[in-house]
Chain A
Amino acid sequence: MSADRERGVTARELRRIAAVLARYPQGDAGSLVNALHDVQAEFRYLPEAALCEVADHLGLPRAQVYGVASFYQGFHLEPRGEHTCTVCMGTACHVRGAARLLETIERDAGVGAGGTTPDLKLTVEEVNCVGACAIGPLVIVDGEYHGHMTADRVSRLVAKLLGEGASR
């Protein structure tokens, strides 16, 4: 279908989307957020084609589905890295040098906060506070908390995530 080619989606991706949507009855508008979670688990983000397929399957306007997906911070509309590195920017972490940590990560990875490396290895993020102030400054790698972080250690962590660990 030419419309699908326009959206940059392959037949294989369409099958993956269809497999996720098979879990939901057609026209079940109430399942929107659940369906978006499942699609994101499959692709790590929500491709435009997937949003359109979800909308059509659940009988919702595409614009509305886009509105919902763009509303929640947990949904991503841009491709995400294989790994995620999140720097806590809360007050406690801030006074212990979180800004320096973020700077180090941004420089090593070559992308700013909120960005993803072109090879889709790593996404860099900031978060306002995760409530682990006692062990700040804090960096979270793929859901794992690393407390009392230093610029040196975070540099080594990032190198490992970017797959440069073995060559050093």
Chain B
Amino acid sequence: MDVRLTIDGHEAKAPKDMSLLDVVRRVGGEIPALCHHEGIAPIAACRLCLVEVRRPGRGEAVLTTSCDYPVSEGLEVVTASPRIRRHRAMNLQLLLPYAPDAPALHEIAESLGVTAPLFAPVTGAPLPGCILCELCVRVCAALGYHALAAIGRGDHKRVGPPFGRSVATACVGCGACHEVCPTGCIAMEDTATTRRIWGRELELFTCRRCGKPFTTVAHRTVMVARGDIPAESCDLCETCRSRDYARRLAPVR
């Protein structure tokens, strides 16, 4: 069921309970966020996606995170105001010391006019550059591997392999965590034949046609076993696969 809402004075329509952040981005609005992924349930960790919302019949607009705010009928949303800017800037300043070198943070800092972090860069973190958005943990769980955990609480909190290990034993080396990490702090290293990630060294699988490695043997084995995609598609790299599709589609034209 669709609901109608106003975003910065413009009318918009969206499915009820969809994430407000996704709705705003869909209509072309810009809201910064580091811990959000459209395919994964939000946890509102980075606090950068703040907006002002007013529900019909309720008095003042309240400041809230948009990623975990479900849209409803008659919602009035403001995505930019001095108040929003001030709070986003403060939250970003609190994140900056944890990832002082991350381009994604600097990009947002520039847009918010933030020039300096609130305190000195954090040293000795278990995973340098990590801002604890937990996207890696959540994407790994969403893909069904559960190789990573959010461990501890408060200033001892960290992400990594569970049970105090230095190696993520359940990791298949799909590289999704490396891909979604907003600060690029998850190391993934490919040599000619192996991939190193989370303390594991996994054999790479090469494309049956062009011989280019495109994932790990362990990851491919899971993909084939799950049967989500045809087994023969698991043998080819993305380039060779799309070439196949193009060839199949050519006569249609």
Contact = CB atoms under 8 A, between A and B. Distances in A.
Contacts of A71: 152-153
Interface stretch (A61-69, A128-136, A140-148, A160-168): A61-69
Interface string B152-185: 1100000000111000001000000000000000
Contacts of A48: 163
B222 interface: no
Contacts of A63: 137, 141, 146-149, 162, 170
A151 interface: no
A66 B152 contact: no
Interface size class of A (residues with CB under 8 A): 10 to 19
A77 B151 CA distance: 12
B31 interface: no
Contacts, number: 36
Interface secondary structure of A, over-half rule: helix
B75 interface: no
Interface string A53-76: 000000001111011001111000
A77 B164 contact: yes
Interface in B79-106: none
A70 B149 CA distance: 10
A162 B147 CA distance: 41
B150 interface: yes
A64 B146 CA distance: 8
B149 A66 contact: yes
Contacts of B150: 67
Contact of A67 (B147, B149, B164, B170): B149
Nearest to A55: B146
Contacts of B137: 63, 67
Contact of A61 (B146, B151, B153, B164): B146
Given A48-B163, A64-B141, A77-B164, A70 B146 contact: no
Contacts of A70: 149, 151-153
B200 to A, nearest CB: 15
Nearest to B170: A63
Contacts of B153: 70-73
A77 B149 CA distance: 15
A162 to B, nearest CB: 28
Nearest to B164: A77
B47 to A, nearest CB: 20
Contacts of A73: 153
A20 B62 CA distance: 46
B163 A67 contact: no
Residue from B141, B146, B148, B152 having most chain A Cβ neighbours under 10 A: B146
6 contacts: A51-B163, A61-B141, A61-B146, A63-B137, A63-B170, A67-B150
Interface of A: 48, 51, 61-64, 66-67, 70-73, 77
For the complex of A and B, the 3 pairs showing the least CB-CB separation, nearest first, are A61-B146, A66-B162, A63-B149
